[in-house]
Amino acid sequence: MQLLFERRAERSRAMMLLSPLIALSLTALLGAVIFAARGLNPLEALYVYFIEPLTTLWSVEQLLVKAAPLILIGVGLSIAYIANVWNIGAEGQFTLGAILGSIPPVLFPEFQSPIVLPLMLVLGLLGGMAYGFIPAVLKNRFGANEILTSLMLVYVAGLLLDWLVRGPWRDPHGFNFPQTAAFQSWQMLPTIGPTVHIGVIIALIVALGLAFLLDRTLKGFEIRVLGSAPRAGLFAGFSRERMVLFAFLLSGGLAGLAGICEVASTVGQLQPTISPGYGFTAIIVAFLGRLNPIGVIVAGLILALSYMGGESAQVTLGISDKIAKVFQGILLFFILACDTFILYRLRFIPKRAPELAPAE
């Protein structure tokens, strides 16, 4: 028997919707196998991982809070990836946004005004954009591969943050802990409900706005053309260089915004670690969400669940919360594999009939 990938005439709409569902099912299946291999009851473990976090109001709120940065970064990355611009450095842009956005509370702690918080958000946005600007310029001027440059800049950003919180920005009254002074109430995002902050609302509005941009505007058209057929994009009169810059400024800016939102809510100060890898997980969010801003909202919730599940697995089952990373990796693997079926179908060719093979 022979297996053959056959190209479809058009992309299959059904598979575009089914692919993430199949990928999720396969992930759960493989997860069950891994749990079983660890000697756990796979059904119970899957329940603890995927269902338990949804059973209390508190944990649902936590889910929204964790999903917010994933969605905010994920929609930006989706736009970049549609344009065929591969920003892998959202984690670094997130960090720079957090650093720049923290200038008012750290350097001007006494400055109390209603404009402090908006100022912080704008600075966060600018920080991420500035950090996204670097790989964009390197690509446009020197043809440097943006996957490598943006990824390497992540580690530079991490070390910069580390140096700041251990050195010049360390809280003088903080008993030498590597962290800045805790933010004051006027430097924090307001909340709705006990823990849900307005970052969640911002993420939803941005996602809806970008969905509109992509589907209805000439800019969205330009993004899609340059992504899927660069030569046709040039023929249409669009500029590839300007698109690289636009995609990095947009995705970087949103990652930076997510960074300052995270620091000005959940974390409450700058410290060496401010993210459990949101910038990288958002890559999975973007693909699981079909690079579609609305899909990204759903995908952001699912990946947030994987973080929650990791925590509850650690507490209830006594296994490392690194299991969350394992699940995320498996999920990305299966999504990319299943996506093949959008443009291809698998065909079984019944057993080969005897073949005439003349001797040489």
Partner 1 sequence: MSVGEKKGAMPVEPSEVPPTRYILEAIGIDKYFGELKANDRVTLRVEPGEIHALLGENGAGKSTFVKIIYGSLQPSAGEIRWRGRPVIISNPAAARKLGIGMVFQHFSLFEPLTVAENIALAMPGDFNMRALSATIARISKDYGLPLNPGAIVADLSVGERQRIEIVRCLLQQPKLLIMDEPTAVLTPQEAEQLFSTLRRLAKEGCAILYISHRLQEVKELCHRATILRHGKVVAEADPRQETAASLARTMVGADIKIVKPQARRANGEVKLAVERLDQPADGPFAVALKDISLTLHAGELVAIAGVAGNGQSELFDALSGERTNARPEAIVMGGVKAGRLNVAARRKLGAAFVPEERLGHGAVPSFLLSENIVLTRHNADPDLIRQGLLHRSAAMAVSERVSKNFDVRKAKPDPEARSLSGGNLQKFVVGREMDRQPKILIVNQPTWGVDAGASALIRQALIDLARSGSAVLVISQDLDEIFEIADRIAVISRGELSEAYPADELTYEATGLLMAGAHEKPGTEGRRHAALV
Backbone angles phi, psi at 333, to 5 degrees: -60, -50
**Helix orientation angle between 57-82 and 90-101, rounded to the nearest 10 degrees:** 110
Residues 126, 136 contacting (CB under 8 angstroms): no
Residues 89, 260 contacting (CB under 8 angstroms): no
Three-class SS of residue 197? Answer: strand
CB 243 to partner 1: min, Å: 14
| Residue 324: partners with Cβ closer than 8 Å, 6 or more residues away | 306, 307, 309, 310, 311, 313
Q: Which is nearer to partner 1, 37 or 349 (CB)?
A: 349
Q: Which is nearer to partner 1, 222 or 311 (CB)?
A: 222
Q: Which is nearer to partner 1, 110 or 360 (CB)?
A: 360
Q: Which residues bind partner 1 (CB under 8 A)?
A: 2, 8-11, 216-221, 224-225, 228-229, 231-232, 234-237, 349, 352-360
CB 226 to partner 1: min, Å: 10
Q: Which is nearer to partner 1, 141 or 351 (CB)?
A: 351
CB 83 to partner 1: min, Å: 13
Can you say whether the dihedral through the CA atoms of 279, 281, 286, 287 is positive or negative? positive
Spatial CA neighbour of 222 closest among 360, 85, 353, 318: 85
Q: Which is nearer to partner 1, 37 or 353 (CB)?
A: 353
Count how many Cα atoms sit within 13 Å of the Cα of residue 178 in the half-sphere of its side chain. 13
Q: Which is nearer to partner 1, 257 or 342 (CB)?
A: 342
| Residue 360: partners with Cβ closer than 8 Å, 6 or more residues away | none
* Spatial separation of the C-alpha atoms in residues 253 and 124, rounded to whole Å: 8
